[in-house]
Chain A
Amino acid sequence: SQTIHQWPATLVQPVGSPLSLECTVEGTSNPNLYWYRQAAGRGLQLLFYSVGIGQISSEVPQNLSASRPQDRQFILSSKKLLLSDSGFYLCAWSVISPLREERGYTFGSGTRLTVV
């Protein structure tokens, strides 16, 4: 069965510090991978998505970046965090079946980031 791992669960970082969040997927090949952010009391904002190794699409210009060094690994980074980067960061994957039937996202358990 497919599983998605995301860590750490919680993180408190000072303004200006770097960030690296990692997400790995098991039990599937060539998934579409996504990074979302959810600010307190708000909806999900798509940050990046990737359809393959080294292929990253950015949805929102900001001081974050993403990389996909391996098929099932997706990394979210920042060189210098801002207070506004605080939020709940969620990694997700999806697969399109041969019948082009989307089966929805499966989310990781998320990282709650507080920038202080």
Chain B
Amino acid sequence: RKEVEQDPGPFNVPEGATVAFNCTYSNSASQSFFWYRQDCRKEPKLLMSVYSSGNEDGRFTAQLNRASQYISLLIRDSKLSDSATYLCVVNIYNFNKFYFGSGTKLNVKP
């Protein structure tokens, strides 16, 4: 079983739509959670950390559900520039490494 699983998509949405991605993780010892964004042929870049109480950054809202072992990313008022692949990442401190999901592709259309 993979450490982190994501729906690969693609999610095709019109501009202005609200879209949500989920990601599940298998190790209950996971302690840090992140969403990364990767543009085509570019390196992944940190979008936001995910905190236990949930957090918001502009149009982006991240949630963590430890009981069900999933994290989510909500994007409101989608922009064309939001088109990218979104990677879910979890970290277990003792292992000194991060586990990446394979990513969810988002296409925002005019």
Contacts and interface: CB of A to CB of B under 8 A. Distances in A.
Interface of A: 32, 34, 36, 42-44, 46, 49, 51, 57, 59, 88, 90, 94, 96, 100-110, 112
Contacts of B89: 104-105
B22 interface: no
Contact of A49 (B44, B49, B97, B101): B97
Interface string B18-46: 00000000000001101010000111111
A46 B97 contact: yes
Nearest to B92: A102
A96 B41 CA distance: 28
The secondary structure that dominates the A interface is: strand
A109 B96 contact: no
Contact of B44 (A51, A59, A101, A107): A107
* 8 closest A-B pairs by CB: A43-B102, A102-B32, A107-B43, A44-B100, A104-B46, A104-B34, A110-B43, A102-B91
Interface residues of B, number: 22
B29 to A, nearest CB: 13
B103 A43 contact: yes
Contacts, number: 57
Nearest to B31: A102
A32 B103 CA distance: 23
The secondary structure that dominates the B interface is: strand
A49 B96 contact: yes
B102 A42 contact: yes
A57 B97 CA distance: 11
Contacts of A102: 31-32, 91, 93, 98
A32 B91 CA distance: 13
Interface string B76-107: 00000000000101010100111011110000
Nearest to A40: B41
Contact of A51 (B42, B43, B46, B96): B96
